[in-house]
Amino acid sequence: KSLEGIGGAALAGPADLVDEARVWRHRYGGQLFQQFPTALAALHGLETVLPLLPSYVAKAREVAEAIGEGFAAAGAPWFRIHPRPVHTHQFQVWLPYEAQVLDAAVTELAEETGTALFRRWMPG
């Protein structure tokens, strides 16, 4: 998914691994008639997006650290960044509040600073 493909997944590995995966692909209904658009998207992602992923991971770590420092400085030790340390270009911030409370806080922050963070809330 990180490579901006259409859908599905690309698998690379030894022939025995690919052969085993092929059996399971069929069992799970992955026998689409034409796969070339998906394969082309995967190849394009490998060529254009994969080289950028290390910089995305570095930036995610930087952002997660800044968010953590900001919450700690604000006296809010109840937040959680997951996973920690961040090891991909995506991470989660856990805040123990209802979505409406967080929406109000984000709106106030955006109005005061021009910076908007956290575009949607998921229970969990």
Between the CA of residue 76 and those of 4, 68, 70, 93, 112, what are the distances in Å?
35, 9, 9, 13, 20
Which segments of 1-124 are extended strands (E)? Answer: 80-82, 92-94
Average pLDDT, the chain: 85
Q: Which of 22-26, 31-35, 98-102 has the highest mean pLDDT?
A: 98-102
With a cut of 70, say whether residue 92 has pLDDT above it.
yes
With CA atoms as reference, report the closest residue to 115 among 76, 66, 60, 56.
66
Q: Is 54 helix (H, G, I), strand (E, B) or coil?
A: helix
With a cut of 70, say whether residue 1 has pLDDT above it.
no
Where do the domains of the chain lie? 15-52, 58-113
pLDDT tens per residue across span 9-21: 677 889 999 888 8
